[in-house]
Structure 1
Amino acid sequence: MSQHGLPAGPDDPEPDHETRPGAGESPPSAARRTAALVPGLAVCLAIAAIATLVGSFVPVLGSAMPAVVLGAVVAIVRRPASVLAPGIGFAGKRVLQAAVVLLGTQLSLGEVVSVGVESFPVMVTTLVVCLVTAWLLGRAMRVDGELTTLIGVGTGICGASAIAAVAPVIGASSTAIAYAVSTIFLFNVAAVLLFPWIGHLAGLDQHAFGLFAGTAVNDTSSVVATAAIYGSAALSFAVVVKLVRTLMIIPISVGLAVRTARRERRDGGSATTLTASGVVGLVPWFLVGFLVASLLRTLGAVPDPVAVSAGTVSVFLIATAMAGIGLSVDLAAFRTAGLRPLLLGGLLWIVVTVTALAVILLTAS
């Protein structure tokens, strides 16, 4: 079996049919590979559908969090059979990557420029402060490195979407992804309850609160819930800020890819020098797809109705992937991690909230 739960391919015993020399994999073998995905993927889709229904009744939950929880509960009650492993692994990786690509259809480069110029000071300051604080606190609290990274980018960028993009870049485990998503969700709920009150206390107008919510709240569903409480104008601006903030996934993922490659080369005893072409080669395909989708949106090749549909599909695919991740969790690993990652997430949430609010108030004209 491969690392994704798929048949190992060329090294497997030959099937009961002839394969022409040099013809590569035969159609029956390809069909078996595809068929092997169906049972596990069907389970993930079913869980995603239930999670989406839950999210429609309780919008603040979204669909990613219910999906990962439902998947984890199923895995704890009864460990998935081996026949489900290929499809579950496919959902947790390939479906997740496809969802990231579709996120690119949600904004044009023009929107990035206009909103990015205004939100840039707040966005970059909170991201830098969050990542530096995550690194320092993670080391001080002895939190696992990949979990620290996932919680850091989830808090500093855009929750489950950022975790979805970064996880395959650093090779994060399903348990780490599930823990990070759960942690981010907990403090998103806190933001929905507390941020409108904080906004009124700080005297933020609709526009300023939209910037605050779009910068300091993570998942889109929570951004919408938080800003909608404050007002329709705040909601409109917050959503665009949040989408622009999603683009920060690109440089962070590339940076992490370079760091991971350097670490692997160092551990293998090789030189750590990376050429420009080598860095380009480290850029994950789905992040390139994200930019291409955004470019197509800019050029008008993705009309508004298609963009709306693509956004809906992306959210559902993320829920499907989270279901696969939930089904793969290791309860013993959760227990080993303990409460320190949760405490780390809480501290980072406070740091981002305070930083975002301070920069908004200091730069207000």
Structure 2
Amino acid sequence: MKIKSFLPGISIAILISLVAWYLGILFPIIGGPVIGLFIGLLFGSLITDSEKLKTGIQFTSKKVLQYAVILLGFGLNLSQVFQVGLTSLPIILVTIATALSTAYIIHRLFKLDSEITTLVGVGSSICGGSAIAATAPVIKAKDESIATAISVIFFFNILAALFFPHLGSWLGLSNEGFAIFAGTAVNDTSSVTATASSWDSLHGTSILEQATIVKLTRTLAIIPITLGLSIWQSKKEDRKESFSLIKAVPNFILWFLVASLITTVTTSLGTSATVFAPLKNLSKFMIIMAMTAIGYQTNLKKLITKGGSALLVGGLCWVLISLASLLMQKVLGLW
């Protein structure tokens, strides 16, 4: 296929993403990916003749999304995360297990769409949009399912950033306790930042770095969960064929691991983490591009009709994760 056929769609995605990136900086509580998704959704609804854009938009929503996940690995220093995040690890494991089991139980009880419940469950348990971005290609999720999951995660991120600092004060959480609470109970990294910053403003403290590290520790769960989903998806598709672990694991997940290891090894040898900052920023921009393309291809009517069930899953996951995080702090004597 000629490169020229890709250019119109990719160019539109880049232009919209530049706007979404800037607006995401101005409104971090919302974030660039969500803004890109909704601008893309608006453009897709307004433009009727989109054949010239189709090839580039599809490439952006699928391949660019996978490349973004690979570059995401350069933001993970495994040794630093293990050292600093070890205290919060039991809480992280319990909250992840709570969200995933809740999503699965709701899916089985109410026979809800498996793609949406999986994406919302993974997004709630790990790291919002990034986890959805990593999981969607693995389970071959439809654009409508991705857009619905991102919208639900965004909604509960807003609620968390607005209410959690006041809830933490009312409950009498310590600074360390709230950092762990924000890092384990808020879905997306930008929203964790907003929530922790709000606490710092209220109390004159500085818990932002600690909350972010707890969140990065939680992000590591992308690796085992996407690998597990890859194996499950492969077994489901190859029921009549012999199962192959090598075939089951997507290449972009393996490269994500390689990127994480490169960051870990080079920084342990004395390389500054700032070297990888451009790659991390490029990853964030490419995720915005992919979400813009997904929004562009999403059917608004389907998004609205699926919204109710997705909100049910997201709401229950959000509430139970929050309760699990607080309960584990009680059990461990941190609160």
TM-score in same-fold range (> 0.5): yes
Work out which of the residue numbers 26, 36, 60 in structure 2 matches 1:91: 60
Distance (whole Å) between structure 2 residues aligned to residue 131 and residue 280 of structure 1: 25
Distance 1:52 1:352, change over 3 A: same
Question: How well do the aligned residues superpose, as a CA RMSD in angstroms?
Answer: 1.6
Distance (whole Å) between structure 1 residues aligned to residue 255 and residue 246 of structure 2: 14
Letter matched to residue 286 of structure 1: F
**1:338 Cα shift?**
4.5
Point out where structure 2 has 5 or more consecutive residues left out of the alignment.
none
Point out where structure 1 has 5 or more consecutive residues left out of the alignment.
1-6, 8-31
Distance 1:56 1:263, change over 3 A: same
Distance 1:335 1:229, change over 3 A: closer
Distance 1:212 1:58, change over 3 A: same
Partner of 1:16: none
Equivalent pairs, count: 327
Select the structure of larger CA radius of gyration.
1
Partner of 1:161: 130
Task: Write out aligned runs for 1:38-57 (5 A).
Answer: 38-57=7-26
**% identity of equivalent residues:** 39
Contact kept, 8 Å, 1:170 with 1:256, in 2: the verdict is yes
Letter matched to residue 50 of structure 1: V
Distance (whole Å) between structure 1 residues aligned to residue 307 and residue 230 of structure 2: 28
- Note if 1:221 corresponds to 2:190: yes
**1:308 Cα shift?**
2.1
Partner of 1:19: none
Contact kept, 8 Å, 2:85 with 2:213, in 1: the verdict is no
Q: 3-state DSSP class of the match of 1:204?
A: coil
Runs of 4+ in 1 over 6 A off after TM superposition: none
**1:357 Cα shift?**
1.4
- Note if 1:60 corresponds to 2:29: yes
Partner of 1:257: 230
Q: 3-state DSSP class of the match of 2:141?
A: coil
**1:188 Cα shift?**
0.2
Partner of 1:342: 311
Distance (whole Å) between structure 2 residues aligned to residue 244 and residue 280 of structure 1: 26
Distance 1:280 1:205, change over 3 A: farther
Partner of 1:15: none
Distance (whole Å) between structure 1 residues aligned to residue 49 and residue 314 of structure 2: 30
**1:140 Cα shift?**
2.1
Partner of 2:265: 299
Contact kept, 8 Å, 1:207 with 1:233, in 2: the verdict is no
Contact kept, 8 Å, 1:134 with 1:148, in 2: the verdict is yes
Task: Write out aligned runs for 1:3-14 (5 A).
Answer: 7=1
Please report the TM-score for the alignment, with normalisation by the length of structure 2: 0.93
Partner of 1:356: 325
**1:80 Cα shift?**
5.4
Partner of 1:131: 100
Distance (whole Å) between structure 2 residues aligned to residue 104 and residue 303 of structure 1: 16
Work out which of the residue numbers 277, 281, 288 in structure 1 matches 2:254: 288
* Between 133-142 and 321-330, the greater mean CA deviation after superposition: 133-142
What do residues 166-222 of structure 1 show as CA deviations (whole Å, max 9, x unaligned)?
000000001100010000000000000111112112222222211111111111110
Distance (whole Å) between structure 2 residues aligned to residue 259 and residue 197 of structure 1: 41
Letter matched to residue 212 of structure 1: F
Please report the TM-score for the alignment, with normalisation by the length of structure 1: 0.86
